[in-house]
Chains A and B, each alone.
Chain A
Amino acid sequence: MHIPDGLLDTPICLVTGGISIAAVGYSVHRLKDSLADRTVPMTGMVAAMVFAGQMVNFPVAVGTSGHLVGGVLAARLLGPWAACLALTLVLFVQKFLFNDGGLLALGPNVFHMSVIGALGGYAIQSLVARLAGDTPRTRVIGVVISGWVTVMAAALLCSIEFAVSHAANPDFRFLKFLALMMMFHAVIGIGESLISGGIIRYVATRRPELLYHPPTIAPGPWRAAITTGFWLALLAIVLLAPFASSSPDGLESAIAESDLSPLPSDSFSLFDNYTAVLSTNNWESWSVVLSGLLGTSIVFFIAMVLGRPLTRPAAPEGTGD
Chain B
Amino acid sequence: MTDTNRHPIGPLRLRAILKLCFTVTVVLVACSLSWEAWPATGALTAIVLAALACARIRLAVLLRRLTLFLPIMTLVAISIPLSQGFNPTWLKIAATVFMRGVVSFLSGLWLIQVLPFDNLLYTMRTLRVPAVVLACLSMMHRYLFVLWEETERIRTARRARRLGPVSRFSEWTAAIGLVGTLVIRSLDRGHRIHRAMLARGWDGHLRPWN
Chain A residues close to B by CB (< 8 Å):
1, 4-7, 9-10, 28, 31-32, 36-49, 51-53, 55-59, 68, 73, 77, 85-86, 89-90, 92-93, 95-99, 102-104, 166, 169, 171-173, 176-177, 180, 194-195, 198-199, 202-203, 206-207, 210
Q: 23 interchain pairs (CB within 8 A)?
A: A5-B30, A5-B31, A6-B103, A37-B203, A39-B132, A42-B194, A45-B190, A47-B136, A55-B148, A55-B151, A56-B178, A77-B187, A86-B136, A86-B140, A93-B117, A96-B117, A102-B27, A169-B93, A177-B79, A199-B179, A203-B183, A207-B184, A210-B184
- What residues of chain A lie closer than 8 Å to B42, measured between beta carbons? none
Least CB separation from B113: chain A residue: A99
Q: Are A6 and B97 in contact (CB under 8 A)?
A: yes
A89 vs B132: C-alpha distance in the bound complex, in angstroms?
A: 12
Asked if B65 CB lies within 8 Å of chain A CBs, one says yes
Q: Mark B147-168, 1 if CB is under 8 A from A, else 0.
A: 1101100010000000000001
- Give the shortest distance, in Å, between B139 (CB) and chain A (any CB): 3
Asked if B172 CB lies within 8 Å of chain A CBs, one says yes
Q: Are A40 and B135 in contact (CB under 8 A)?
A: yes
- What residues of chain B lie closer than 8 Å to A194, measured between beta carbons? 172
Q: Are B136 and A51 in contact (CB under 8 A)?
A: no
Q: Are A39 and B1 in contact (CB under 8 A)?
A: yes
Task: Report which of A4, A37, A42, A48 forms a contact with B202, defined as CB distance below 8 A.
Answer: A37
Tell me whether A171 and B197 are in contact in the complex, defined as CB-CB below 8 angstroms, given that A41-B190, A45-B189 are known contacts.
Answer: no
A158 vs B186: C-alpha distance in the bound complex, in angstroms?
A: 32
Q: How many residues of B contact A (CB 8 A)?
A: 84
Task: Report which of A57, A85, A93, A176 forms a contact with B133, defined as CB distance below 8 A.
Answer: A85
- What residues of chain B lie closer than 8 Å to A176, measured between beta carbons? 83-84
- Give the shortest distance, in Å, between B205 (CB) and chain A (any CB): 9
Q: Are A173 and B179 in contact (CB under 8 A)?
A: no
- What residues of chain A lie closer than 8 Å to B140, measured between beta carbons? 43-45, 47-48, 51, 86, 89-90, 93
- What residues of chain A lie closer than 8 Å to B184, measured between beta carbons? 203, 206-207, 210
- What residues of chain B lie closer than 8 Å to A55, measured between beta carbons? 148, 151
Q: Are B137 and A52 in contact (CB under 8 A)?
A: no
Q: Are A93 and B104 in contact (CB under 8 A)?
A: no
A173 vs B1: C-alpha distance in the bound complex, in angstroms?
A: 50
A47 vs B135: C-alpha distance in the bound complex, in angstroms?
A: 12
Least CB separation from B23: chain A residue: A103
Least CB separation from A173: chain B residue: B84
Name the interface residues of B23-82: CB closer than 8 Å to any CB of A. 23-24, 27-28, 30-32, 65, 72-73, 76, 79-80, 82
- Give the shortest distance, in Å, between A42 (CB) and chain B (any CB): 5
Q: Are A198 and B31 in contact (CB under 8 A)?
A: no
A177 vs B89: C-alpha distance in the bound complex, in angstroms?
A: 17
Asked if B8 CB lies within 8 Å of chain A CBs, one says no
Q: Are B172 and A58 in contact (CB under 8 A)?
A: yes
Chain B residues close to A by CB (< 8 Å):
1, 23-24, 27-28, 30-32, 65, 72-73, 76, 79-80, 82-85, 87, 89, 93, 96-101, 103-105, 107-109, 111-112, 115, 117, 120, 130, 132-133, 135-144, 146-148, 150-151, 155, 168, 171-173, 175-184, 186-191, 193-194, 197-198, 202-204
Q: Are B101 and A6 in contact (CB under 8 A)?
A: yes
Q: Are A58 and B175 in contact (CB under 8 A)?
A: yes
- What residues of chain B lie closer than 8 Å to A77, measured between beta carbons? 183, 187
Tell me whether A103 and B144 are in contact in the complex, defined as CB-CB below 8 angstroms, given that A169-B89, A203-B180 are known contacts.
Answer: no
Tell me whether A49 and B182 are in contact in the complex, defined as CB-CB below 8 angstroms, given that A6-B99, A37-B198 are known contacts.
Answer: yes
- What residues of chain A lie closer than 8 Å to B171, measured between beta carbons? 58-59
Q: Are A49 and B186 in contact (CB under 8 A)?
A: yes
Sample of 19 further A-B pairs with CB below 8 A, known A51-B147, A166-B93: A5-B31, A9-B31, A41-B139, A41-B197, A42-B187, A45-B140, A48-B147, A52-B144, A52-B150, A56-B178, A59-B168, A90-B140, A103-B27, A104-B31, A169-B93, A173-B83, A176-B84, A199-B179, A210-B187
Task: Report which of A28, A57, A180 forms a contact with B132, defined as CB distance below 8 A.
Answer: A28
- Give the shortest distance, in Å, between A46 (CB) and chain B (any CB): 7
- What residues of chain B lie closer than 8 Å to A47, measured between beta carbons? 136, 140
- Give the shortest distance, in Å, between B203 (CB) and chain A (any CB): 6
- What residues of chain A lie closer than 8 Å to B98, measured between beta carbons? 6
The 4 closest A-B pairs by CB, nearest first: A44-B139, A6-B100, A202-B180, A5-B104
